[in-house]
Structure 1
Amino acid sequence: MVFESWACASWIAKVTLYLAVAMVVGGSLSGFLLKPYIDIKDKLLKYILLGACLGVVSSLFGFAVLVGSFSNTGLRGMLNDQYISLLLNTAIGHVHVIRILSFGLIALFLAVVVMRKPIHFYTWQKLLLGLFILPIIYSFSQLGHVVNSTVLAQILLSVHVLTMSIWLGALYPLWLSTQRIAGLPLKQCIHLFGVIASFIVAILLLCGISVALMLIQNIDVLLNTPYGYGFMIKMVFVLAILSLAVLNKYYFTPRLQQVNVAKIFGYAILFEMLLGLSILLTTGYITTVVGID
């Protein structure tokens, strides 16, 4: 398998990892906010469980791709014992192990919760879920562009990943709300999401811009490199999703008691999900296939 194929496989692993983190983090917060709605809560627990399982698969696949790219002996190289042992004793290997274990514990924990009827989350269970999520978020600062940067840059990246995951991972629960709730309860629910999203987006942009300024210190990198081109495409998607979020908050939300508006709002959320996926695809591409160097 040539280098480009390994890079493409790594891209797929990175994007599925992003999706998994968003489903777990955004789904968890949404589940707590929508807990009065039993039917939605059940579906969100399964959504988070699916995200955790996807996280295990993406982390295993990402490590296998890493092994295969080192052994360079085709698909069978992904199972090369020598390189598996070697990479497991590196910082990169440790990050993958942490992700696999954390996602695995979340999946096991939620599987037990889902099987119990009626489903109920105690405070200690919420804290335990958050404890399992933290190592996953932290792991992003231990790989990639900021691994050799300052502690501040690593913290900013971790917070950026966390807020991005909350926002994008909450889009499916938002859409689900438009399908299961109507009238004033829907308006109140979406308004609450909007208030929280305002703070989340502000932190997301602050951290994202700060990390970008630390990494792109030369305008030539932005204007004359594949990484710069990809970054600008990502910014177009970001501006588009921000514009749509503003439209949702100030136009659709005040009118959600109207049935026809609620239906259009549901389609707007689906389009926002598509833009979010485009952001993840572009981010994964410039951080794996292209690189900033």
Structure 2
Amino acid sequence: MGSEYWEYANWITKVTLYLSVACIIGGLFCYFLFYRYLDFQKKILHYIGFSTCLGFFSSLLGLGVLIGSFADAGILGMFDTNYAKIILSTATGMVHVVRITCFALLIALMGGIFTHHKVRMYMWEKVSFFFLLIPIIYSFSQLGHSANLSIFPQILLSVHVLVMSLWMGSLYPLCMATLKISGLELQQRIHLFGRIASVMMVILLLCGLSVALLLIKHVDVLLTTAYGYGFILKLCLVAVILLLAAVNKWYLTPRLEIPTFAKKLTYAIFFEILIGLSILATTGYITTVVGIE
């Protein structure tokens, strides 16, 4: 199994991890956004529960891929105990362990919620989510090329990941909300999300561009390398999703009392989801398979 296969495997696990974190954070946000709708909150909890399992297995697989790439003995190299001991003794290995542990605890937390068949979370459960998600979010800045940055850029990257996750992970619940809720109630919830999303966009762009300027120190990197081409593609996709968000906020949302516009919003958000997945895939590709040359 060549090194390029391990790189592609790492890409897939990273994109899956991005997606799971986004769904957890965005799901929690929508859980509070739709606090009046118990039946819908229950569906969101299942969305979060599935995402925690996805995050755990993608993190576990990510560690296995890392071990396998060093062992260079095919798929069975993922279970090489000697290389596992070496990697787990490094800072990179410990980041993976912390990430896996946090996801495992999130699964246990969700298991407790589902076991008691409840929809409303206790305060300690909400706080637990907060403290368990912090190390997971921060872990993205501790791996790859961003690990060599100073603490402030790493914090900026973590905030970028947090806001991106909140926005991207909210899209599917919002899409489902357009099918479950209608009229003025839907308009009010979507309008509130739009107001919060406006702030998120500004933070997302400021943090993302700041980190990009620190990583891409020469214009030649953008114009002559695969990383640069991928980064430009990512910017184009971000521009498209921002345009869609603007259409949703300024054109569709004010007209949601009309049933046909609710259906149009469903299609628009679904398209946003597709663009969002493309952004995650592109980000994962340029940070794993390509890298900054």
Pairwise TM-score range, normalised by the shorter structure? over 0.9
After TM superposition, the score normalised by the length of structure 2 is 0.99
- Map of 1:212 onto structure 2: 212
For residues 211-238 of structure 1, give each alpha carbon's deviation from its aligned partner in whole angstroms, at most 9, with x where no partner exists.
0011111000000000000000111110
- Map of 1:58 onto structure 2: 58
**What is the letter of the counterpart of residue 47 of structure 1?**
Y
- Map of 1:145 onto structure 2: 145
- Map of 1:28 onto structure 2: 28
For residues 171-221 of structure 1, give each alpha carbon's deviation from its aligned partner in whole angstroms, at most 9, with x where no partner exists.
011101101000000000100111111111110100000000111110000
After TM superposition, the score normalised by the length of structure 1 is 0.99
Name stretches of at least 5 consecutive residues in structure 2 with no aligned partner: none
**What is the letter of the counterpart of residue 135 of structure 1?**
P
Give the Å deviation of 1:109: 0.3
Give the Å deviation of 1:122: 2.0
User: Structure 1 stretch 224-233 or stretch 138-147: which is displaced more?
Assistant: 138-147
- Counterpart Cα distance in 2 of 1:8 and 1:117: 40
For residues 47-97 of structure 1, give each alpha carbon's deviation from its aligned partner in whole angstroms, at most 9, with x where no partner exists.
111111001100011111111100101111110010011111111111111
**What is the letter of the counterpart of residue 263 of structure 1?**
K
**What is the letter of the counterpart of residue 284 of structure 2?**
G
Instruction: Determine helix, strand or coil for the equivalent of 2:145.
Output: coil
**What is the letter of the counterpart of residue 159 of structure 1?**
V
- Map of 1:169 onto structure 2: 169
- Map of 2:135 onto structure 1: 135
- Map of 1:45 onto structure 2: 45
- Counterpart Cα distance in 1 of 2:198 and 2:147: 29
For residues 117-151 of structure 1, give each alpha carbon's deviation from its aligned partner in whole angstroms, at most 9, with x where no partner exists.
33221222211111111110111111112211111
Instruction: Determine helix, strand or coil for the equivalent of 2:36.
Output: coil
Runs of 4+ in 1 over 4 A off after TM superposition: none
**What is the letter of the counterpart of residue 225 of structure 2?**
T
- Map of 1:241 onto structure 2: 241
- Map of 1:266 onto structure 2: 266
**What is the letter of the counterpart of residue 257 of structure 1?**
E
Across the aligned residues of Structure 1 and Structure 2, the Cα RMSD in angstroms comes to 0.8
For residues 250-276 of structure 1, give each alpha carbon's deviation from its aligned partner in whole angstroms, at most 9, with x where no partner exists.
000000111000001001100000000
Q: What count of residue pairs does the alignment treat as equivalent?
A: 293
- Map of 1:3 onto structure 2: 3
**What is the letter of the counterpart of residue 61 of structure 1?**
L
1:183-262 to 2 correspondences below 5 Å: 183-262=183-262
Instruction: Determine helix, strand or coil for the equivalent of 1:268.
Output: helix
- Map of 2:160 onto structure 1: 160
Instruction: Determine helix, strand or coil for the equivalent of 1:267.
Output: helix
Instruction: Determine helix, strand or coil for the equivalent of 1:8.
Output: helix
- Counterpart Cα distance in 1 of 2:114 and 2:41: 10
- Map of 2:70 onto structure 1: 70
- Map of 1:90 onto structure 2: 90
- Map of 2:110 onto structure 1: 110
For residues 32-57 of structure 1, give each alpha carbon's deviation from its aligned partner in whole angstroms, at most 9, with x where no partner exists.
11121111100111111111100110
- Counterpart Cα distance in 1 of 2:290 and 2:4: 10
Give the Å deviation of 1:115: 2.4
Give the Å deviation of 1:112: 1.0
- Sequence identity (%): 53
Instruction: Determine helix, strand or coil for the equivalent of 2:121.
Output: coil
- Counterpart Cα distance in 2 of 1:91 and 1:150: 16
**What is the letter of the counterpart of residue 290 of structure 1?**
V
Instruction: Determine helix, strand or coil for the equivalent of 2:242.
Output: helix
